[in-house]
Structure 1
Amino acid sequence: MNTAIEKQVTRKIFLRLLPLLICLYIISYLDRVNVGFAALTMNADIGLSAAVYGWGAGLFFVGYCLFEVPSNLLMAKVGARRWIARILFTWGLIATCMALVQGPKSFLIMRFLLGVAEAGFFPAVILYLTFWFPVRYRARIISIFMLSIPISLAIGAPVSTALLQLDGLMGLKGWQWLFIIEGIPGVLLFGVVLKYLPDSPKQAAWLSDEERQWLVNELDKDAKAHPAALDGQSTIWKVFCNPSILALCFIYFTATAANVGLSMFLPQMIKQQGFTGMEIGYITAIPYIVGCIGMVSIGFLSDRFNKRTAFVILALLLIAGGLGAAGWLSGSNLAIIAMCVATVGIMGCKGPFWPLPALYLSGSSAAAGIALINSVGNLGGFFGPGIIGVTKEMTGSYESGLYLLAGLAILGIFTTLIFISDRGKAQKGLPVSDAVPTRG
């Protein structure tokens, strides 16, 4: 193996693609969760109850789910550069227009439309990264890309809280300024994506012929070494009915329910402990700063030991233990430590999880399968805040909701143990003839 050219190519790709993709996902994720900070004042202004807010916050993921698979299939036809740019412009526009909501009905409609607009972005990026990085790099690369989430929340927490202080400026509420200022970057970066994001290595003028050939050879070797159970000629129906793909959907559902349920209500949980103003923003950032460390560490260890399922199980254990302890310690400052543990699991799950679909899918089936996993899994984003909102109204506290999400993570552990294997295709006992190696 030519280690010199390997280091040269991977470094080049990393520096050319990852900073822009990370920037885009930071903006994307902040635009979907900044409603958690807006809720500190918005709910009272437009008359949202805890239950309506919870289901509305999660309604984003219903629109996201319905349009995820067709969006990702269109990306495969249109090309990553143009399709990601389109998604970026649309979600930026709708995120900005969230400032126009006036009551429960308009709030629910706009959250649904925001999900429709953003559908396809994340699975498009995950699939896109498989065009550029060999298998042995993917967990760490995905972990680094997924740093966008805790970074967006760590930065967004104090920034969003500060924007609420603009209340009354030019006759607008603070939460309206929050949506406007944090939504505009999505619109402005539309042209940057069109100019700087190549569709594939063939369009990358910054790769030499030798570098491009090395990359193609490595990706071909991976395809032959890890033949997928479902290839590019498989029907969409086969992808959707595959037991392991459905299991991956549920596992991601459990992690997403915990992630979104916690992030949408964390500022309000901290406020309930007696903190106010900028204190809420700074304390909210703490679990996500810790989550950054956990995410990178688990991703690198997963690559180092070439163990995906073991580290997914570890992450789910941290989620269950952290959320359960946060519920038990509710009202105490120690609950923040428990939330940090849960966030390490929530963030750390993503690195070892997302290389798993490539063990079962290749070619065009990968576009459909990854989109299916992400869309169905993201329905957890509807369930998580919804269940916390409902239990908060029923019991007057957040404990029951946290316990339910912890229990869901435990179900995810059993699902992983039963249905998922690092060997991929062999888990399902499909004949080798069903696997036609293609570069995914």
Structure 2
Amino acid sequence: MTHRHIASAVVSAAAGAHDRCQQVCKKVSRRLLAFLFVCFVLSFLDRINIGFAGLTMMGDLGLSGTQFGLASTCFYIAYICCGIPSNMALARIGARRWIGSLMIAWGLASTCTSLATDATSLYLLRTLVGITEAGFLPGVLLYMTFWFPAAYRARANALFMIAMPFTAGFSSVLSGLILGMDGIWGLKGWQWLFVLEGLPSVLMGFVVFYYLDDRPQQAKWLDREEQQVLAQALAAERSDAGQGSGGRPRSIWSELLSPQILLFCVVYFCLVNTLAMIAVWTPLIVKSFNSASSNGVIGLLAAIPQVCTIVLMVVWGLHSDRTRERRWHLVLPMLLAAAGWILTALSAYPPLQLLGVCMAASGSYTAMSIFWTTPDQSLSFQARAVGIAVINAIGNIGSAVNPLVIGWLKDLTQGFGSGFAYAAILMILGALLALRLPIGGRVGLPATC
């Protein structure tokens, strides 16, 4: 056999392996992504519904903007503190049992937020929600690395993470309607909000116990060959990640304390500030330049940025995977979000202000879906569970700081303009730092993919 024939056979075999890996990944996507999407919808709904509850809760409980922001800060402090031990527990116990238990616990805690009577009780209840929900997102991000090779993870992350803008848009309409139930059975509208949006998480938690598999090797819906194709693709990546100089493996602590991982944390901190602002304050921001509108109309208007976000996330994630480029696919959406906040701050024309919020939401959520395709490439398989949780936890200090800072600035200036400037500055800083992330040029395909 000539060298040409040998080369042709090698190329043909590689193409066949790549096609087979694609088929398996599509099957995994169909099985997992829709289900995890629903779980994330419930998770994010219980996280952000306080933003809509605030439309009437602040008056009923006599809360200032600072106090209302502090309630979200309490949530994120608990979220930050519990994220790392929660991911360690998931790695030991398994995703099926751990994620199911978390959903039941946070669903009950979120439902009980309806019992808040003053600022202190609200702080306590939101802290409980933060403790119980802390492990879900970093846990699922870790779980995705068990099932999807890196070259397919941007589209997988995007399809999973559109749950965030979808929930924000869906909840904008739903929450506006639920607030209209004020007075039914003696409950305030915001109390109905926490009850009706918290209990579904409890029910879904029980479903998780029966639906998820911890690893591909345990999945009865994959045949033996499909399990082997996926295992080989993932094993090829694990052998390359987290190597020190000369190919020597590094200790877990040296990986977690490396300048590269700390840089990931800082970039995510800058990004999360805008994510938290969109999640918590969008209803009140829209209300600020549409003060005469009803809560139902505010809900519809607040849904518009989320629709734009869903479209951009899917298109951008697919483009990133097709081009196998990550760095500029992360930086450009961050700059788009910064431009959106600047437009919202400088304009006095409501349609332009709404356009700015659309840009900020679309850019920040799209950047997040791309961001989470990159840290695991700098971590060994052994350090991945803790590393992802560390980046998520430190980055989410921004979620703890943002509501308090924005609430304080709003009370100080009687508007959101200074808050928009604060978010824009951090997004520009984050984009500049993202240019230095150890992402590399293009994402390669595993040998079997």
* Residue 381 (str. 1) matches residue 399 (str. 2): yes
- Deviation per residue, 1:64-108 (Å, 9 max, x gap): 100111110111000110011111111101010010011010111
Q: Is the 8 A contact 2:242 2:255 kept in 1?
A: no
* Partners of 2:192 and 2:319 in 1: CA distance: 41
* Partners of 1:93 and 1:387 in 2: CA distance: 29
| Structure-to-structure mapping, 1:28-39, within 5 angstroms | 28-39=43-54
Q: Is the 8 A contact 1:168 1:174 kept in 2?
A: yes
Q: Is the 8 A contact 1:123 1:374 kept in 2?
A: yes
- Deviation per residue, 1:227-286 (Å, 9 max, x gap): 324799755532331111111111111111111113211111222222222100000000
- How far did 1:159 drift? 0.2
When structure 1 is superposed on structure 2, of 173-182 and 4-13 the one drifting more is 4-13
SS of the residue aligned with 2:436? helix
- How far did 1:163 drift? 0.3
- Deviation per residue, 1:273-311 (Å, 9 max, x gap): 222221000000000110001111221121122221211
Aligned residue among 216, 222, 228 for 2:242: 228
| Structure 1 portions without partners, runs of 5+ | 425-436
Amino acid at match of 1:176: Q
* Residue 179 (str. 1) matches residue 197 (str. 2): no
| Change over 3 Å in CA distance of 1:212–1:399 after alignment to 2 | same
| Change over 3 Å in CA distance of 1:301–1:4 after alignment to 2 | closer
* Partners of 2:255 and 2:395 in 1: CA distance: 15
Q: Which residue of 1 aligns with 2:287?
A: 271
Q: Which residue of 1 aligns with 2:149?
A: 134
- Deviation per residue, 1:8-67 (Å, 9 max, x gap): 312221111111100000000010000000000001101110011112123211101001
| Change over 3 Å in CA distance of 1:128–1:268 after alignment to 2 | same
When structure 1 is superposed on structure 2, of 323-332 and 39-48 the one drifting more is 323-332
- How far did 1:409 drift? 0.8
Amino acid at match of 1:105: T
Q: Which residue of 2 aligns with 1:305?
A: 323
Q: Which residue of 2 aligns with 1:100?
A: 115
* Partners of 1:236 and 1:344 in 2: CA distance: 35
* Partners of 2:63 and 2:120 in 1: CA distance: 10
Q: Is the 8 A contact 1:294 1:347 kept in 2?
A: no
| Change over 3 Å in CA distance of 1:240–1:161 after alignment to 2 | same
SS of the residue aligned with 1:418? coil
Q: Is the 8 A contact 1:232 1:365 kept in 2?
A: no
Q: Is the 8 A contact 1:309 1:420 kept in 2?
A: no
| Change over 3 Å in CA distance of 1:27–1:203 after alignment to 2 | same
SS of the residue aligned with 1:349? helix
Q: Is the 8 A contact 2:341 2:424 kept in 1?
A: yes
| Structure 2 portions without partners, runs of 5+ | 1-14
SS of the residue aligned with 1:333? helix
Aligned residue among 263, 270, 279 for 1:254: 270
| Change over 3 Å in CA distance of 1:107–1:4 after alignment to 2 | same
Amino acid at match of 2:140: V
| Structure-to-structure mapping, 1:146-157, within 5 angstroms | 146-157=161-172
* Partners of 1:229 and 1:415 in 2: CA distance: 23
Q: Is the 8 A contact 2:238 2:381 kept in 1?
A: no
* Residue 243 (str. 1) matches residue 259 (str. 2): yes
Amino acid at match of 2:338: A
Amino acid at match of 2:255: V
Q: Which residue of 1 aligns with 2:204?
A: 189
What TM-score does the superposition give when structure 2 sets the normalisation length?
0.91
Q: Which residue of 1 aligns with 2:4?
A: none
Q: Which residue of 2 aligns with 1:432?
A: none
Amino acid at match of 1:259: L
Amino acid at match of 1:417: L
Q: Is the 8 A contact 2:96 2:213 kept in 1?
A: yes
| Change over 3 Å in CA distance of 1:161–1:175 after alignment to 2 | same
* Partners of 1:228 and 1:235 in 2: CA distance: 9
- Deviation per residue, 1:163-194 (Å, 9 max, x gap): 00110000000000000000001111122100
Number of corresponding residues: 424
What TM-score does the superposition give when structure 1 sets the normalisation length?
0.93
Q: Is the 8 A contact 2:72 2:403 kept in 1?
A: yes
Q: Which residue of 1 aligns with 2:417?
A: 399
Q: Is the 8 A contact 1:251 1:412 kept in 2?
A: yes
Q: Is the 8 A contact 1:229 1:359 kept in 2?
A: no
* Partners of 1:420 and 1:298 in 2: CA distance: 21
- Deviation per residue, 1:388-424 (Å, 9 max, x gap): 1111110111000110110011111221123433269
When structure 1 is superposed on structure 2, of 355-364 and 40-49 the one drifting more is 355-364
Q: Which residue of 2 aligns with 1:344?
A: 362
Q: Is the 8 A contact 1:22 1:145 kept in 2?
A: yes
* Partners of 2:411 and 2:304 in 1: CA distance: 27
What is the RMSD of the two structures over their aligned residues, measured on CA atoms? 1.8
- Deviation per residue, 1:299-328 (Å, 9 max, x gap): 112112222121111111011111111111
| Change over 3 Å in CA distance of 1:182–1:330 after alignment to 2 | farther
SS of the residue aligned with 1:37? helix
| Change over 3 Å in CA distance of 1:4–1:304 after alignment to 2 | closer
* Partners of 1:66 and 1:382 in 2: CA distance: 11
* Residue 325 (str. 1) matches residue 343 (str. 2): yes
* Residue 19 (str. 1) matches residue 37 (str. 2): no
Amino acid at match of 2:305: P
* Partners of 1:79 and 1:161 in 2: CA distance: 37
SS of the residue aligned with 2:350? coil
Q: Which residue of 1 aligns with 2:8?
A: none
When structure 1 is superposed on structure 2, of 295-304 and 165-174 the one drifting more is 295-304
* Residue 288 (str. 1) matches residue 306 (str. 2): yes
* Residue 116 (str. 1) matches residue 134 (str. 2): no
Q: Which residue of 2 aligns with 1:55?
A: 70
Amino acid at match of 1:335: Q
* Partners of 1:302 and 1:168 in 2: CA distance: 49
SS of the residue aligned with 1:109? helix
Q: Which residue of 1 aligns with 2:55?
A: 40
Q: Percent identity over the alignment?
A: 37
Q: Is the 8 A contact 2:45 2:168 kept in 1?
A: yes
| Change over 3 Å in CA distance of 1:12–1:357 after alignment to 2 | same
